[in-house]
């Protein structure tokens, strides 16, 4: 009976860990001296979901949580969170993208991860160095395009994400006073979308 209690305790510890971290890996358990076989049992009981190779989460966790971004940043510190994922960090969209959108240099090799799925966008050098902010998520430094840069990117990559999303981001950033005209022009020019954005910027009241 004693042994059974031990198993119960480790199950509970693992579930608490998953709740706290969002994602847990087999190796996290090894580091804590917890039996990784317990993961299989918890998955079978429906208390955990396997979301990638050696990667588990609670089924009730919300997938759009920023924790996945921290995972990506930890592994690919040079990549910059952009487009829909940046809109999400800046609270400029109601959508929660399933994929993580990352900007990398034109010639760089595309990062690979089992989870979360990545959408890779290639940026020119100036677009990778200007207008990049750093934020802390789960104790990890995540590099993300700033609000004005993100809005301009949405227009530049409107074929990928939809013009309606870009317009909504622009209007929301303006409404909440997160950008001014100078910043918008600066990044519209940097991203070479000044002509595309002009009519929408002129209609901002």
Q: For residues 148 and 184, is the Cβ–Cβ distance under 8 A?
A: yes
* Higher-scoring residue by pLDDT: 139, 198: 198
Residue 145's contacts (CB-CB under 8 Å, 6 or more residues apart) are 80, 81, 82, 83, 86, 103, 131, 132, 133, 153
Question: What confidence tier does 167 reach under pLDDT thresholds 50, 70, 90?
Answer: very high
Q: Return the pLDDT at 4.
A: 55
**Backbone CA torsion sign across 154, 70, 121, 129:** positive
Residue 56: DSSP 8-state: E
Could you tell me which residues come within 8 angstroms of residue 199 by beta carbon, excluding any fewer than 6 positions away? none
| Domain residue spans of the chain | 2-57, 67-202
Its pTM stands at 0.70
pLDDT above 90: residue 202? yes
* Tokens encoding 66: 């920023």
* Beta bridge mates, 80: 103
Place 2 in a pLDDT band, splitting at 50, 70 and 90: very low
Dihedral angle at the C-alpha atoms of 137, 139, 142, 146, nearest 10 degrees? 60
């Amino acid at each position: 009976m004693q042994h059974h209690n031990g198993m119960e305790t480790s199950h509970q510890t693992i579930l608490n860990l998953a709740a706290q971290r969002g994602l847990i890996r087999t190796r996290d358990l090894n580091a804590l001296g917890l039996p990784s076989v317990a993961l299989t049992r918890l998955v079978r009981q429906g208390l955990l979901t396997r979301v990638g190779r050696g990667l588990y989460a609670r089924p009730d966790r919300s997938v759009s949580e920023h924790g996945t971004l921290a995972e990506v940043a930890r592994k690919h510190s040079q990549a910059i969170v952009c487009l829909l994922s940046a809109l999400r960090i800046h609270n400029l969209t109601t959508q929660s993208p399933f994929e993580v959108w990352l900007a990398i240099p034109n010639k760089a090799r595309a990062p690979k991860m089992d989870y979360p799925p990545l959408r890779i966008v290639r940026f020119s050098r100036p677009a990778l160095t200007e207008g990049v902010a750093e934020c802390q998520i789960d104790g990890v430094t995540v590099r993300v395009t700033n609000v004005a840069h993100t809005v301009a990117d949405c227009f530049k990559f409107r074929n990928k994400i939809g013009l309606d999303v870009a317009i909504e981001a622009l209007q929301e950033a303006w409404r909440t006073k997160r950008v001014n005209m100078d910043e918008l022009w600066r990044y519209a020019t940097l991203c070479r979308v000044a002509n595309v954005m002009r009519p929408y910027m002129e209609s901002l009241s």
